[in-house]
Amino acid sequence: MKLPSKVRLCEVGLRDGLQNEPKILTTSEKLKLAEGLIDAGFKVIELGSFMSPAAVPQMADTDELYRHLNNIKGVELRALVANRKGVERAINCGCRKIKLNVSASKGHNLANINKTPEETVAAFSENVDLALKNGLEVSGSISMPFGSPWEGLIPIKDVEEIVQAYLRVGINEISLSDAAGVATPRQVYDICCSMQEKYPEVKWWLHFHNTRGMAMANILASMEAGITNFDTSLGGFGGCPFVPGATGNISSEDVVHMMDEMGIETGIDIQKLIELSRNLQAMLGREGDSYILKAGRTKDLFN
């Protein structure tokens, strides 16, 4: 197998993991989780999103989180934004990196932000210019590149058009997000190889949901294709509220455990991560989708 010696993980549990939970955590609870994730070794964390508090009340205190944490050095704290208002909020609270999002699925994009992909792309330039003018870094995300409950398989040319739109406005860090959990390993391998060949200037991230139990296999296929940046979620919590039947992202501790067992460096302390995941379960009052919390590490079984 052709595998990397190390990978970089972004913890998205504080955003994607919490945005659809009926129980809304307090700001102090989120801060404790964020500080624990930093202590466990995460260098990239998606701290929240700047969406309308009326639409996503779980993310209403993202500004406050940044005011507490934006002096931390050596850790990238990024946030999702949807429009100019979100960029302005990011600027005002000290956020230093934002992520824009568009769906390759027209149906999903309309359900998510009430715009077509074309309308969303048209607004990128204004948002990017405002962010860059104020010293923020900007990355992009493409949801549903592998398939959508609305349209089925997405033509690769539709995804490429969005990549090109990002590049035109100066964004060269892009995430492919399987929000519907429909991707398969061969498909992932082929698309990752194609995208890297056509757009070598892009820094790629992969974001997999484990809806049909294939997220780990898709990560493996991505690594075989040369991708080394992945989003994961503490406890396997999460899921897009606009996708029918969507479940959580691949569990952070499951991914770190697999990498540890395969000798691939993550820089993450698995023991601290497991404890944080247990704490999050207690806060939310329910279990997530984490195999390691149920079965424990392989090393623990052998020893």
- Kindly give, in sequence order, each residue whose CB lies less than 8 Å from that of residue 141, ignoring residues fewer than 6 positions away: 80, 99, 100, 101, 102, 174, 175, 176, 177, 205, 207
> Tell me, what's the pLDDT at 107?
77
Whether 284 is covered by a domain: the verdict is yes
Whether 3 is covered by a domain: the verdict is no
Band of the pLDDT at 1, cuts 50, 70, 90?
A: confident
Give yes or no for residue 242 having a pLDDT over 70. no
Here the CATH number for the domain that contains residue 38 is 3.20.20.70
Whether 205 is covered by a domain: the verdict is yes
Whether 1 is covered by a domain: the verdict is no
Band of the pLDDT at 124, cuts 50, 70, 90?
A: confident
Q: Maximum distance among all alpha carbons in the chain?
A: 57
Whether 37 is covered by a domain: the verdict is yes
> Tell me, what's the pLDDT at 30?
98
Give yes or no for residue 112 having a pLDDT over 80. no
Whether 2 is covered by a domain: the verdict is no
> Tell me, what's the pLDDT at 160?
93
* Mean pLDDT calculated for residue range 46-65: 96
When divided into structural domains, the chain yields a total of 1
* Mean pLDDT calculated for residue range 227-240: 93
The proportion of the chain whose per-residue pLDDT surpasses 90, expressed as a percent, equals 81
Whether 71 is covered by a domain: the verdict is yes
Q: Are 180 and 149 in contact (CB under 8 A)?
A: yes
pLDDT tens across 37-50, in order? 999 999 999 999 99
Q: Which amino acid is at 76?
A: E
> Tell me, what's the pLDDT at 244?
66
pLDDT tens across 206-221, in order? 999 999 999 999 999 9
Give yes or no for residue 245 having a pLDDT over 70. no
240 is catalytic: yes
Residue of 63, 157, 39, 56 lying closest to 104 (CA atoms) = 157
- Distance, in Å, from the CA atom of 174 to the CA atom of 102, rounded to the nearest integer, reads 11
Range of the domain at 282: 8-302
Residue of 163, 225, 212, 156 lying closest to 184 (CA atoms) = 212
Set 10, 95, 192, 240: catalytic member? 240
> Tell me, what's the pLDDT at 246?
66
Whether 225 is covered by a domain: the verdict is yes
